[in-house]
C-alpha cells in the first residue's frame, strides 16, 4: 500500500471519489465507487480483495493475484486518508462482475469500453492531442493487436493454387492479382508485411482491407475460371488472360510473355469450335421483359443456354443482399457462360447489364471463348411501365424487386 505525496486532482460524485495524479495522469477510484460500479456491496469488494491474496479468482483479475492490496493507494482528505485503487485494477474488477452476470457491471463495462474506444480513435486521428492520451500502455496493446495480420483464410482455391504455383511460383500471385493494386496500396502492404530475403511472414491477403479484397475478387474469380479452361496448359492459361484483358494488360509481365501469349492464343483459337455460337446479353431495367424474351428464344433454339444472376442467387439461398453470396453468384455465372461457349453453345445473359463495366466483363468472356457478341436492348420500355409490371408480379405471388431498386438501376443508365 502506498501513500501518495504527489499533487492530485479530486472529485466526488454522490460519495464516490475519483483521483488523478497531476504529474503522471495516473487515475484511481475509491472502494465505494468500485462497489457501486459493480452493483455489489463494499463488503463483497473486501472479500474479493482477500481472495486475491492467495488464489486466482477469474481471468480478468489473474494479473493482480497476490498483489491487489499492494496496489491500494491512500490519498489525503480532511486531515485523514482515503483508500483508492488504480483504474486498470478497477476495470478488471468491473469486468469480473460483468462476466458473473451483474447488470450494473455490464452496463458500466459497456459504457467505459465505448468511452475508451472513442478516446483511442480520437488520438489516432489527432482530434485528441497526444498530451491528453490516457492509459498509454493500453494504447500500445491495441496498436499491437491492430497491426497484426488478419486470421489466415482461403483466398485462392487449393485446386487453383497447386498448378498455378507450379507454373509461376509465389511471385505469380503478385503479378497476376496483387499488381492490380495502386502504388500506394502496394507500398502499404510492403510496410506492414515486408519481404525478407524474398519471403513474407504472412500471406499478402491477410493485410488487405475489405474494399481492396472486393476489388481484387473478380480477378481471382477469372483466374480460377481460366485455370479450369486451360486444360492443364500454362500457355493456354496465359493466352486466356491476355485475351480477356486485352494486349498488354499486365504491365509487370515481360515482353516475352506478351508475345508468347498472343502466339499461343492464336493456336488455341484454331482448336475451338466457335464459328456459329455467340454470347447475347440483354440491357434493360428489371421487369422490362428480358427474361421472358430469353425464355422464348430458348424455346425456339433448345441448344441455346440462358444464364441469369437472379436464378443463381436463388440457387445459393440469397434472401437478402450479401456481398459474399453475390461474389459467389458472379463466379458461378462466369463459369457457366464460359463453359457453354467453349462447348459451342450460344448463351443468353438475361441480366440488367446496364453499366459499362458489366458489359465489358461479358465482352471479355466472349473474347476468351473466341465468339461474337450481340446486345439485345430493352431500354425502350418506360420506367413507369417496368415499375407497374414489377408491382403486379409481386401481387400475383412472383418475385418483386421493388420500385426503389428499379429507380436505382435507372439512375445508373442516365
Q: What is the pLDDT of residue 79?
A: 74
Weakest mean pLDDT among 33-42, 55-64, 315-324, 356-365: 315-324
pLDDT tens digit sequence for 110-129:
999 898 888 888 888 888 77
- Cell matching residue 199: 519471403
Whole-number Å distance between alpha carbons of 208 and 351 = 31
Weakest-pLDDT range from 226-240, 296-310, 354-368: 226-240
Are 25 and 14 in contact by the 8 Å Cβ rule? The answer is no
- pLDDT given at position 16: 86
Q: For the ranges 21-30, 137-146, 157-166, which has the lowest average pLDDT?
A: 137-146
Confidence band, pLDDT 50/70/90 cuts, at residue 81: confident
| Whether the predicted pLDDT of 219 surpasses 80 | no
Q: How far apart are CA 273 and CA 295, in angstroms?
A: 25
DSSP character at residue 202: S
| Full DSSP string of 313-368 | HHHTT-SS--HHHHHHHHHHHHHHHHHHHHTT--EEE-S---SHHHHHHHHHHHHH
Tell me 199's DSSP state: B
Per-residue pLDDT at 217 exceeds 50 = yes
Residue 245 confidence (pLDDT): 67
Mean pLDDT of the chain: 81
Residue 21, C-alpha cell as written in the block:
495524479
Q: Which residue has the higher pLDDT, 147 or 313?
A: 313
Quick one: pLDDT band at residue 275, thresholds 50, 70, 90?
very low
Tens-place pLDDT, residues 160-199: 778 888 888 877 887 788 888 888 888 888 888 888 887 7
Considering the domain 274-414 in this protein, what is its CATH number? 3.40.50.300
Q: Which of the two residues, 5 and 236, has the higher pLDDT score?
A: 236
Residue 346 is predicted with a pLDDT of 95
- Say if residue 255's pLDDT is above 50: no
Q: Can you give the residue ranges of every domain in the chain? A: 2-146, 274-414
pLDDT of residue 161: 78
Residue 139's alpha-carbon distances to 63, 76, 92, 114, 134, in angstroms, are 18, 30, 16, 14, 8
**Percentage, residues of the chain above pLDDT 70:** 86
| 3 membership: H or E segment, kind and range | strand 2-3
d(CA 32, CA 400): 60
152 has pLDDT over 70 = no
- pLDDT tens per residue across span 364-400: 888 877 789 999 999 999 999 999 999 998 899 888 8
Beta strands 347-349 and 372-377 are unpaired
Residue 208 above 60 pLDDT? Answer: yes
234 and 242 Cβ atoms separated by less than 8 Å: no
CB-based contacts of 41: which residues, under 8 Å, 6+ apart?
A: 35
Backbone angles phi, psi at 14, to 5 degrees: 50, 40
**pLDDT, position 242:** 74
d(CA 82, CA 75): 5
Q: Is the dihedral of CA 314, 319, 321, 325 positive or negative?
A: negative
Given a cut of 80, is residue 259 above it in pLDDT? no
Residue 147: predicted pLDDT: 66
Amino acid at each position: 500500500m502506498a501513500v501518495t505525496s504527489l499533487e492530485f486532482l479530486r472529485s466526488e460524485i454522490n460519495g464516490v471519489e475519483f483521483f488523478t495524479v497531476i504529474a503522471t495522469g495516473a487515475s484511481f477510484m475509491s472502494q465505494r465507487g468500485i462497489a457501486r460500479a459493480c452493483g455489489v456491496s463494499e463488503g463483497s469488494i473486501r472479500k474479493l480483495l482477500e481472495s486475491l491474496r492467495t488464489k486466482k479468482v477469474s481471468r480478468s483479475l489473474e494479473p493482480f493475484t497476490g498483489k491487489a492490496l499492494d496496489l491500494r493507494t491512500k490519498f489525503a482528505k480532511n486531515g485523514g486518508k482515503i483508500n483508492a485503487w488504480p483504474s486498470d485494477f478497477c476495470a478488471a474488477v468491473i469486468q469480473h462482475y460483468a462476466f458473473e452476470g451483474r447488470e450494473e457491471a455490464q452496463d458500466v463495462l459497456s459504457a467505459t469500453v465505448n468511452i475508451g474506444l472513442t478516446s483511442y480513435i480520437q488520438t489516432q486521428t489527432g482530434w485528441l492531442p497526444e498530451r491528453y492520451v490516457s492509459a498509454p500502455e493500453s494504447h500500445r496493446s491495441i496498436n499491437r493487436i491492430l497491426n497484426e495480420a488478419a486470421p489466415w483464410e482461403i483466398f485462392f482455391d487449393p485446386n487453383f493454387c497447386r498448378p498455378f504455383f507450379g507454373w509461376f511460383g509465389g511471385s505469380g500471385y503478385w503479378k497476376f492479382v496483387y499488381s492490380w493494386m495502386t502504388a500506394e496500396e502496394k507500398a502499404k502492404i510492403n510496410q506492414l508485411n515486408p519481404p525478407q530475403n524474398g519471403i513474407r511472414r504472412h500471406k499478402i491477403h491477410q493485410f488487405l482491407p475489405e474494399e481492396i479484397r472486393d476489388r481484387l475478387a473478380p480477378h481471382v474469380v477469372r483466374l480460377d475460371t481460366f485455370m479450369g479452361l486451360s486444360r492443364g496448359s500454362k500457355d493456354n492459361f496465359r493466352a486466356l488472360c491476355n485475351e480477356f484483358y486485352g494486349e498488354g494488360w499486365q504491365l509487370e509481365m515481360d515482353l516475352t510473355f506478351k508475345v508468347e501469349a498472343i502466339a499461343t492464343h492464336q493456336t488455341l483459337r484454331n482448336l475451338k469450335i466457335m464459328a456459329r455460337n455467340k454470347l447475347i446479353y440483354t440491357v434493360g431495367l428489371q421487369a422490362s421483359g428480358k427474361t421472358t424474351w430469353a425464355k422464348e428464344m430458348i424455346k425456339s433454339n433448345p441448344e441455346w443456354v440462358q444464364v441469369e444472376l437472379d436464378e443463381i442467387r436463388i440457387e445459393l439461398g440469397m434472401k437478402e443482399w450479401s456481398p459474399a453470396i453475390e461474389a459467389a453468384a458472379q463466379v458461378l455465372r462466369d463459369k457457366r457462360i464460359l463453359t457453354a461457349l467453349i462447348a459451342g453453345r450460344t448463351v443468353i445473359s438475361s441480366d440488367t447489364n446496364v453499366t459499362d463495366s458489366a458489359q465489358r466483363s461479358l465482352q471479355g468472356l466472349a473474347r476468351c471463348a473466341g465468339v461474337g457478341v450481340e446486345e439485345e436492348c430493352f431500354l425502350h420500355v418506360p420506367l413507369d411501365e417496368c415499375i407497374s409490371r414489377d408491382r403486379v408480379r409481386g401481387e400475383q405471388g412472383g418475385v418483386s424487386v421493388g420500385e426503389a431498386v428499379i429507380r436505382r438501376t435507372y439512375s445508373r443508365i442516365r
